Chain A
Amino acid sequence: MMDSFGRFWSLLGAALRTRCGLRYLYKMSLAVSLRRALLALLSGAIFILTVLYWNQGTIKTQAYNEALERHPSHRDASAFPIPVEKSWTYKCENDRCMRVGHHGKSGKRVSFISCSMTCGDINIWPHPTHKHVLSPHTHSFSVDDVQLQVDTTHREVRKQLQTVFDWFLKDLRQIQRLDYAGSGSEPAVSESSSSKSRRHTQQDSEPAATLFGATFGAKQAGDLSSVQVKIAVHKSGDLNFSLDNDESYYLTSNTDGHRLLVEITANSYFGARHGLSTLQQLIWFDDEDRLLHTYASSKVKDAPKFRYRGLMLDTSRHFFSVEAIKRTIMAMGLAKLNRFHWHLTDAQSFPYISRYYPELAEHGAYSESETYTEQDVREVAEFAKIYGVQVIPEIDAPAHAGNGWDWGPKRGMGELAMCINQQPWSFYCGEPPCGQLNPKNNHTYLILQRLYEELLQQTGPTDLFHLGGDEVNLDCWAQYFNDTDLRGMWCDFMLQAMARLKVANNGVAPKHVAVWSSALTNTKCLPNSQFAVQVWGGSTWQENYDLLDNGYNVIFSHVDAWYLDCGFGSWRATGEAACAPYRTWQNVYKHRPWERMRLDKRRKKQVLGGEVCMWTEQVDENQLDNRLWPRSAALAERLWTDPSDDHDMDVVPPEVFRRISLFRNRLVELGIRAEALFPKYCAQNPGECI
C-alpha cells in the first residue's frame, strides 16, 4: 500500500513540476527578475528532492517492515545460549585446542570455535565417510552475502532446494546471532583493555563501511564479498523417499578473489540436502568479529553406510506438539538422520483425527487440544522433507490399541477392540491400560485400511510402512475366542493388515513392511520377502541371528543400547523398572551389533539400519529435547559413518568427544535444549577430562 501511495505522489510531483517549470521559464523569457527564476528553480529542485526522498522513504519503510516481520525482537546478546567467552584465547597444539587466559594481554584472541574448526581433523557430525580436505585458511562473511544457484533440469527439485536453502539461511542467521543485539553483551569482568580498544577500532571502521555501502550499493562485512552456493543435481529428479535414495554428495569450495564458490554435486535431492547440512557445519560464528567464518577451500566426499537412520517418537503415552516434533526433525536433519518413525497411537491415547473415523480421536485423545489433524501430519511431512527426513507413521495393531476404539457397538460395528482398560491389567497386557483389536471384526480392518490410506496420502509415496504388530497378549483374545491357534490368529491379523495396506497404497504393497520383533517374528508366518523386522529385544538375544538366518531385513533398535527412555526407574508403583540403566551417549555410540555378531556380507546387507526409540511413559514436552539430544546424534554417526572402534567398553576416542561437543553446541545454538555432555570446563579444555 505504501508503495502505490508513494508512486501516486511521485506522479503528482512530476506533473506539478513540469507545469510550474514551464510557467516560470515562460516568465523568465519575458525578462522578469533573475531572483524569481532562481527561486523557481530552487523550489523545483526542492520538490524533486522531496519526491525522491519520499520515494526512498517508502522503500525504506517497506524493507524495515520486512525486517521486522522476520525478526520480531532484538534480544540481549548475553541471553544467547552459547556465551561469548572473551576471557580465553586458544592455541592449537598436537591437534588439540589449549585454553590460555586472555586477561589484559595484548595480541589477537583466537576464539574457541575458530581454533577447534582449524585444529586437527574435520569437525562435523557425523564424520564424512570417503574423503575430506580443508584449507587451513579461513574467511569471514555475513549471511547477507550468501546466494544460491541451482543447477538442475528437474523443476521440482529446484523448487525444493530453494526452500531448503531458505531454511539454511534462517539457521545461519540464528548462528550469526542476528536476532540478538550487537556487541553490548560483555559486562565487567574480563573486559580487558585490549578488547575494549579493539572494539573502538571496530566501531570506527563501521561507519565507513556503511558510507561505502550507501554510496556504491554494496556492503562487505567480512573478507568475502559473496558466497555463491551452487547445487547441481542431474541424475535423479525423484523427491519421494525410498531406501534406494542416493544420499551421497560431493562438496567443494574455492576462493576466487573476494568470492567463495561452493559447489555441491549430488545424484539426488537427498544427497544435495545433506551437502547443505555439511556446509552449515563448515560455517561457524566467531565472537571476535561477530561474523561467520568458513574455509578458503574444502573438499568433502560423503555417503552413508546405512540407509535407514531413524528416530522413533511415541506420541500416545504423552502428547507432543507439532512444534516439538518439527524441532526434533530439524535436529535430525542436521545429524543426517533420515527416518522419523511416528508412533502415533497406542493403547493410552489416539491423538490423530482421522478423516474417515474422527470417533477414534473423539474417544481416544487426552483432550481436544492434544490432537493432530490431517493438516498437521501433512505439514510435518512437508517440513521433514526439507530436512531430508521421511515421516513413517505407525498405527500400532493389533496390540497397543485400546482407548479410541470403544465406540464400535454404538455405531453398530460391533466390538472393534477388546480388553480395553481391563483390570487386572497384568493378565491382559504388558502395561496398563490394556487393549487389543478384534481380529474377527471386518470393520476393524476397514478402519485400519482407511487410516493407512489417509496417512499415506499425507506422508507421501513410500517403500516402507510400519504396522506395529508387537506384544500381543493371547490371554486377552482367549477370553473371547475358542480358537486353539491364537498365535495363528495374530499372524492372520498381520497378513490381513498387510493386505489392507496394499489396497490403501493403490494396490501395491510397499516394498518393506516393518513390524516390531515379537514371538510372531520368531515363527516364519510372515513372508520374509515383504516384512522387515524392527528388532527391539536385547542385542545378544538369539532372535537377532534367527531373523537374519530366516531372511528378514532388520532395523536394529536394541533395548540395551538404543532405547532412550530407559533408566528413570519404574513409573508404576509396583514392579521393577523395565530397562534400566540409562543409555549414555557413549552407549549409543559404541553399539555396533553387526560387528559383534560378526555378520557376513549377505547378512549385513539385510541390516537396513537402526533407530533410537523414545517411548514416552516418563517424558513429555518439558524434557523431550534433552532426552533425545545429543544421544540421537550418537546414533546418527554410528549409522552414517560407522567408525571402527577398538576401544574398551564405554571408552570413546577423544576426537569424538571433541566433535560431539561442538555438535551439541550447534544444536543449542539452533534452539534445541540438548543435554550437557560434561562440565563446561571439559568443553573448554578438549581432552583434559578423559
Chain B
Amino acid sequence: MRSSGYNRYHCYALAICVCFAVGAALTRADDTDHDAQAGSSASRKWLCSQTDICSPETELTPGLQYAVERFESQRDCRLSCGKYGSIWPMPTGEAGFIGNERVRFDPWKVRFHVVAPGEAATQFLRETNRLFVSNLLKECTRNCTLEGSKQILVRATVANETLVLDWATDESYALVVRTTDTATFVDIQAPTVYGARHAFETLTNLVTGSLSNGLLMASAARITDRPAFPHRGVLLDTSRNFVPLKFIRSTLDAMATSKMNVLHWHVVDTHSFPLEITRVPEMQRYGAYSSSQTYSRQDALNLVKYARLRGIRILIEIDGPSHAGNGWQWGPAAGLGNMSVCLNQSPWRKFCVQPPCGQLNPLNDHMYAVLKEIFEDIAEVGAPEETLHMGGDEVFLPCWNNTKEIRDGMRAQGFDLTEESFLRLWSQFHQRNLNAWDEITERMYPGIKEPKSVIVWSSHLTDPKYIETYLPKERFIIQTWVESQDSLNRELLQRGYRLILSTKNAWYLDHGFWGSTSYYNWRAVYSAGMPATQHRSQVLGGEVCMWSEYVDQNSLESRIWPRAGAAAERLWSNPKSSALAAQRRFYRYRERLLARGIHADAVIPHWCVLHEGKCL
C-alpha cells in the first residue's frame, strides 16, 4: 500500500515537473517579448506633474510642469508621484523619499531575514512575512511569476521582544529600499513587531502590478514613520444586526491595510447577545438571534489572534447599564430576580431611546455577579494588557423611575428620587463593575503593574459639572461622541481626562440613512479635526462608529470602507493638508482595498480616477 502510494506521488511530482518546465519555457518566451516592450519608451506613456498629477502623454494638461520620467501605467506613475506616492496613510517622518526607478520582481522570490529578540517576536514576523506576500499577490494584474526576477532581500530588525499592544506601544518604523546591480535590499527597523508590520504594509504601498509579468516596486525609498495617535479604531456593532465572522475578518483586513489598530467590538446590546459567555451560557441562549448567529468562545479567541497578527487590538464592550436587555431575561426563572428592567416594553418611547428597551437593574446583586462572570470571560479572551469598554451611554432615567422595583429599592437604600440620586446610582454601577474588573485582572494577571483604566461613553455622567464626582480620571477614559463644535472635549481635557474621539457629525458611519442625520463622505471624515491642545497626550485617538441598525453583512463593507480609511489617515498622520491634496492617493487606496477583497464604496466616477485633475 505504502509503496504504491509513494509511486503515485512520484508520478505526480514528475508530471508537475514537466508542467513547470513547459510553463517556464513558455513564460520565458513571453517575458522577452514584454521586456522588449517595457523597455521601449513607446509603451511608457505616463508622466508625473509637479502638482502630483499622473497623465498619459496624450493628455498632458497645458501649463503643468511634468517630470521627465515615464511610467508604464497610471499606477506605476502613482507609486512615486507626489511626496507620498501611493502610501496610505501618509508617513509622518521627515525627509521621506521615493525614487522614480522601478525594479520588476516575482513576489514568490522575495527573501526574508528576520532579526528579533525572542522566539515569539520572530514567529510574529514570520507570519507578517506570509501576510505580506499574500498581499503582494493580490496586486498582481497578470501572471506574477517572472523568470530571472531581481532578488528582493528584506531584512526586518526589531529591537524589543514584547508583543504587548496598548496605548504605549511604539508603532514607529524606518524603511529603506535600495537597489544594487545584484539585488534590491529592503531594510526595516522598528522598536516593536507592530512597527515592523506597519513597515511591511507601507512596503506593499511601494508595489504595484505590472502590465507585463511580475510586480513593480520603487527601487529606492526612505521612509520614517510613526502614528500621531495610539488609538485608531473602528467600532463594529454586531448586536443590532449580526455580522458573520467572515465579515469581521474582512473588516480587520481592511483595518490592517489602513494601519488602524483597535477594533472596538460592540458585541452586545439590547437587541441581541451573540457572544458566548462560558460561565453564563444563558446570556447567549436567551439573547442570540439564532444559534447560527453567535460567536463562540473559540471564535472570539481566534479573532483576537487574527487581529493581533495584523497589529490590531480587539477591545470588547459590554454595554451597561443601558443598552442591555435581550440575553438578560432569564433572571426571574433562575431565581435571580429581574436583572434587566423595562425589557422589550412598549410603548418603547416611554422606556428607552430606541426599541427594544432594556436597562440593567442596578439594585440587583445577582446582576453584578453575572456581570462579573462576563468580565472574567472577557479577560480570558483578551490579551493580558487589554482592557474593557464598559459602555455607560444613553441611560434612560425614566426607565428606572418608571419601575416600581427600582423606586422601592432606592428608597429602601436611602436614595430619594431626584436626578442626582439616579446619577449617583448609575455611577455606583460603574464603580462596582470597575472593582470587579480590578479584582479579576489582579487575580488573572498578577504581573500587571497598575490597575487598567476602562473606557466609558460620554453621557450625562460625563457632564463636566459632575464628572469629577462620579468618574475618577485615573481610571476612566472617556469616549466622546459629541459633535465637533461641542465644548465637551476641551472641558474634559482641561480636567485631565483621557479621551477617545468619535465625532458624531463626521465619524458616525451609520448617519445619512435614518432620521434627520446626514451622510459624511470621505472628505468630511478626513477633515474632522483632532483637538489642538496642550493636553495632546490625553487625546488617545479616535474611532469611526459602525452602528448596525441599518447594515448587515450585505452592506457593511461598503458602508465602512473606504471612509474609515480617511479617518485612518487623520489618526495616523493628522495632516495639515486638506482632503483635496489626498484625493489621488485615496483613490489608489480604495483600489487596494478592492484588490484585497473588500467591497469598498465607489466615491467618484471611474473616468475621474483615470483622468486625474479633470473633475475638480
Contacts and interface: CB of A to CB of B under 8 A. Distances in A.
Interface of A: 78, 81, 83-88, 101, 103, 185-191, 317-319, 348-349, 366, 403, 421, 423, 425, 432-433, 567-574, 577, 580-582, 584, 616-620, 622-623, 625-626, 668, 673-682, 684-685, 688-689
**Which 5 residue pairs of A and B lie closest in terms of their CB atoms, listed nearest first?**
A569-B521, A85-B290, A623-B558, A626-B555, A679-B240
Contacts of A190: 285, 288, 290-291
Contact of A679 (B548, B553, B555): B548
Contacts of B290: 83-88, 190
B291 A626 contact: no
24 contacts: A78-B292, A83-B293, A85-B289, A85-B290, A86-B290, A87-B289, A103-B285, A186-B292, A189-B288, A318-B602, A348-B607, A366-B607, A403-B607, A432-B614, A568-B521, A573-B580, A617-B602, A673-B553, A679-B239, A679-B271, A680-B241, A680-B272, A688-B346, A689-B348
B595 interface: no
Contacts of A101: 286, 329
Contacts of A186: 291-292
B605 interface: yes
Given A571-B604, A622-B558, 15 more contacts: A85-B289, A189-B294, A433-B611, A573-B523, A573-B616, A580-B518, A581-B512, A623-B555, A668-B554, A675-B554, A676-B549, A678-B549, A681-B289, A681-B356, A682-B355
B14 to A, nearest CB: 29
A679 B271 CA distance: 8
B291 A574 contact: no
Q: Secondary structure of the A side of the interface?
A: loop
B348 A317 contact: no
A611 to B, nearest CB: 21
A189 B284 contact: yes
Interface string B577-616: 0011001000000000010000111111111101100111
Contacts of B514: 584
Contacts of B291: 84-87, 186-191
| Residue of B329, B514, B548, B554 ringed by the most chain A CB atoms within 10 A | B554
A348 B606 contact: yes
A531 to B, nearest CB: 29
B520 interface: yes
Contact of B552 (A680, A688, A689): A680
B12 interface: no
A83 B288 CA distance: 12
| Residue of B521, B548, B553 ringed by the most chain A CB atoms within 10 A | B521
Interface residues of B, number: 65
| Residue of A84, A620, A681 ringed by the most chain B CB atoms within 10 A | A681
B606 A676 contact: no
B403 interface: no
B524 A622 contact: no
Contacts of A86: 290-291
Contacts of A681: 240, 270-272, 289, 326, 355-356
B614 A425 contact: yes
A572 B286 contact: no
Interface in B555-586: 555, 557-558, 579-580, 583
Contact of B519 (A88, A581, A617): A581
B292 A618 contact: no
Contact of A433 (B346, B519, B607): B607
B513 interface: yes
A676 B554 contact: yes
Contact of B610 (A191, A366, A570): A366
Contacts of A366: 606-607, 610
Nearest to A676: B552
B242 A574 contact: no
A88 to B, nearest CB: 8
A84 B292 contact: yes
B548 A189 contact: no
B611 A580 contact: no
B578 to A, nearest CB: 9
Contacts, number: 198
B593 to A, nearest CB: 9
Contacts of A617: 602, 604-605
Contacts of B285: 87, 103, 189-190
A317 B519 contact: no
A571 B522 CA distance: 9
| Residue of A85, A348, A679 ringed by the most chain B CB atoms within 10 A | A679
A416 to B, nearest CB: 18
B583 A623 contact: no
B278 to A, nearest CB: 11
Interface string B261-302: 000000000111000100001001110111111101000000
Interface string B222-266: 000000000000000001111000000000000000000000000
Given A573-B523, A689-B355, A626 B558 contact: yes
A573 B555 CA distance: 25
A315 to B, nearest CB: 11
A185 B346 CA distance: 34
Contacts of B549: 676, 678-679
B9 interface: no
A567 B519 contact: yes
Contacts of A78: 292
B602 A569 contact: no
B167 interface: no
B27 interface: no
A680 B273 CA distance: 12
A684 B380 CA distance: 32
B217 interface: no
Contacts of B524: 569
A237 B374 CA distance: 68
Nearest to A78: B292
Contacts of B580: 573
B552 to A, nearest CB: 4
Nearest to B605: A317
Nearest to B555: A626
A602 B223 CA distance: 72
A675 B555 contact: yes
Interface string B193-217: 0000000000000000000000000
B606 to A, nearest CB: 5
Contacts of A584: 513-514
A678 B514 CA distance: 10
A623 B241 contact: no
Nearest to A319: B606
Contacts of B557: 622
A629 to B, nearest CB: 9
